[in-house]
Amino acid sequence: MKHDRAGTLREPCNGYGEKSHFRNITVTLAPDAYERLIHESARRKIAGERNQLLSALLREAVAEYLSRLESSSP
């Protein structure tokens, strides 16, 4: 999850078309990481879960990682 300026948690992406303030990046992944993302995307699609796109999965993962860093900081 991502924190807004007030420090409250929010979704990494609020939905399609609501990303105009986001920044685009390019990332190179190892083949095994890419394969794991593809499998998770397929799993979510079959299960009817949200955030099935690779970009959504990556945003979710980065937000979770940064949240863990913030919570482990002194």
For 29-55, give the secondary structure using H, E and C. CCHHHHHHHHHHHHHHHHHCCCCCCHH
**What is the reported pLDDT for 13?**
58
pLDDT class of 6 with cuts at 50, 70, 90:
very low
Distance CA 52, CA 41 (A): 5
Contacts of 23 (CB under 8 A, 6+ apart): none
Which pLDDT score, from 0 to 100, does residue 47 have?
Answer: 97
Q: Cα separation of 43 and 22, whole Å? A: 26
9 vs 63 pLDDT, higher one: 63
Lookup: tokens for 7: 């420090």
In this predicted model, what pLDDT tens digit does every residue of 7-41 receive, in sequence order? 444 556 555 567 778 899 999 999 999 999 999 99
Query: Quick one: pLDDT at residue 70?
Result: 92
